[in-house]
Amino acid sequence: MPQTKFILDEKDIPTRWYNIQADLHEPLPPVIHPGTLQPIGPQDLAPLFPMEIIKQEVSQERWIEIPEPVRDVYRLWRPTPLHRAHRLERELDTPARIYYKWEGVSPAGSHKPNTAVAQAYYNKEEGVRRLITETGAGQWGSALAFACQAFGLECKVYMVRVSYDQKPYRRLMMEVWGATVLASPSPETQAGRAALAKDPQSPGSLGMAISEAVEEAAQREDTKYSLGSVLNHVLTHQTVIGLEAQKQLELAGDRPDILVGCIGGGSNFAGFTFPFLPDKLAGNRKDLRVIAVEPQACPSLTKGAYVYDFGDTGQMTPLVKMYTLGHSFIPAPIHAGGLRYHGMAPLICALYDAKVIEAVAVHQNPTFEAALTFAKAEGFLPAPEAAHAIRVVIDEALQCKVSGQRKVIAFNFCGHGHFDLSAYERYMSGKLEDFEYPAEKVKEALAGLPKVTV
């Protein structure tokens, strides 16, 4: 029988993260101060992040050492398995060879702890007592709650209202790990109160929850802010995924033709694909296709503008150049809460702009159809976010059936959907809506962006 799982030993947990900034053909555009509209320096970020994280954010070193206490927590679930999806291949009757890197085995159920653990560690090392964050789907909040528990820090999470209502068990999971969880927009912050005054029924958004978390973190000496995606250091921490996957594909004797991942802020996609990119950036693997999958309801890469925008709704964060739908855009309440973000990681945007990576947008009904096909064949129940990647993997595998090509398709299976069963229920009872791309609302949101000339 052909092998199904490719498993590494604990000693194979990477000792260094890969920082793609070292291999970019051009440096990233500068990050801009929202007040002065000039490039920011490390001191501007110091109220929010510990110095080691600020250093990593701008580091041009190719490799960053993973501290031993971080690797020690990683040992609870890393290395994660790489699976060959034989059963899915048979179900699709495709000649393609499909692999998935299974990140849902972490305590929180997704890739998010890979950076949460590192961030909690650096904060603890620099004497921080409390971390504040936001969460969309609840996966990031759970990951940070777990990581704070591991290093003895307090944790407070602003959870986007629509997820707070859809996923009470995610909230309870965070509370088990000792975190305090609030629905966002909340009456606790100025940003939240202003949003509630405009719309008391606001479903919230990641951009709004970020404003609340940043506002509170900036006001307290003992507290810092922690972000689960978008920023360079977060993407770098996630590269443990791709570094392991490279070794595992070697064990399997295969070389990928197509890499796929879903994108909300870009971290799991980056973590999985970036370690494969130096060859492509150097011109040695022009044939390697790297596909980012986003929701049609929030299509930052495929429909956004590549301009400077705020990371949050309340205009408190620095301005970064990214593909954005506008910071005031509130995406429709799709069930892939982790993909409801108006912007995208600047590193992903630069690679998309340079045509190193591709992007595809999909609707949630075909996404859930793919999730069910996958769950029936492989057993595991995908998170709605992960199912976006699976939709495109299935489409590519079906194309191979038509063309007869035996392509190797590998994707990041970034999380399980055990807390998303109400979304599965809605899909199975035919009640799930597809939301068209809201062109008018995006146009309005983009019209209000500041003009940055650097």
User: Residue 324 pairs with which residues in a beta bridge?
Assistant: 305
Least Å distance, CB 53 to ligand PLP, is: 16
Least Å distance, CB 412 to ligand PLP, is: 8
CA 236 – CA 326 distance, rounded (Å): 25
How many Å is the Cα radius of gyration of the chain? 20
In degrees rounded to 5, what are phi and psi of residue 231?
-75, 155
Query: Toward ligand PLP, which CB reaches closer, 182 or 252?
Result: 182
* By the rule CB under 6 A, 263 interacts with ligand PLP: yes
Least Å distance, CB 289 to ligand PLP, is: 19
Q: Of residues 264, 299, 304, 331, which one binds ligand PLP by CB under 6 A?
A: 264
- Name the pairing type of β-strands 305-310 and 319-324: antiparallel
Q: Diameter of the chain by CA atoms?
A: 64
Query: Toward ligand PLP, which CB reaches closer, 96 or 345?
Result: 345
Residue 250 corresponds to which tokens in the numbers above? 């070697």
Least Å distance, CB 326 to ligand PLP, is: 19
Residues numbered 347 to 366 that lie near ligand PLP (CB under 6 A) are: none
Least Å distance, CB 111 to ligand PLP, is: 6
CA 454 – CA 451 distance, rounded (Å): 10
Query: Toward ligand PLP, which CB reaches closer, 97 or 275?
Result: 275
Stretch that binds ligand PLP, among 126-134, 262-270, 272-280, 436-444 (CB under 6 A): 262-270
Report the Cα–Cα distance between both ends of the chain, in Å, rounded. Answer: 59
Query: Toward ligand PLP, which CB reaches closer, 94 or 333?
Result: 333
Least Å distance, CB 269 to ligand PLP, is: 6
Letter for the amino acid at 126?
A: E
Least Å distance, CB 413 to ligand PLP, is: 9
Q: Of residues 123, 186, 267, 300, which one binds ligand PLP by CB under 6 A?
A: 267
* By the rule CB under 6 A, 266 interacts with ligand PLP: yes
Least Å distance, CB 68 to ligand PLP, is: 26
Residues numbered 277 to 316 that lie near ligand PLP (CB under 6 A) are: none
Query: Toward ligand PLP, which CB reaches closer, 140 or 437?
Result: 140
CA 407 – CA 253 distance, rounded (Å): 13
Stretch that binds ligand PLP, among 51-59, 191-199, 261-269, 424-432 (CB under 6 A): 261-269
Contact 348, 270 (CB under 8 A): yes
Contact 120, 53 (CB under 8 A): no
Q: Of residues 330, 397, 414, 432, which one binds ligand PLP by CB under 6 A?
A: 414
| Closest of 181, 180, 182, 183 to residue 200, by C-alpha | 183
Mutual orientation of helices 139-151 and 168-176 as an angle, nearest 10°? 10
Least Å distance, CB 43 to ligand PLP, is: 27
Residues numbered 43 to 102 that lie near ligand PLP (CB under 6 A) are: none
Distance of CA 31 to the CA centre of its chain: 20
- Residue closest to ligand PLP, measured at CB: 338
CA 247 – CA 7 distance, rounded (Å): 10
275 Cβ contact list (under 8 Å, min separation 6): 18, 239, 242, 243, 245, 246
Letter for the amino acid at 299?
A: P
CA 135 – CA 418 distance, rounded (Å): 17
CA 73 – CA 344 distance, rounded (Å): 28
Stretch that binds ligand PLP, among 26-34, 173-181, 357-365, 378-386 (CB under 6 A): 378-386
Mutual orientation of helices 421-428 and 364-378 as an angle, nearest 10°? 110
Alpha helices (H) along 404-438: 421-428
Residues numbered 102 to 141 that lie near ligand PLP (CB under 6 A) are: 110, 136-137, 139-140
* By the rule CB under 6 A, 338 interacts with ligand PLP: yes
Least Å distance, CB 347 to ligand PLP, is: 11
Q: Of residues 147, 262, 290, 397, which one binds ligand PLP by CB under 6 A?
A: 262
| Closest of 318, 300, 295, 330 to residue 423, by C-alpha | 295
Stretch that binds ligand PLP, among 63-71, 144-152, 256-264, 445-453 (CB under 6 A): 256-264
Contact residues: ligand PLP, CB under 6 A:
110, 136-137, 139-140, 229, 262-269, 338-339, 383, 385-386, 414-415
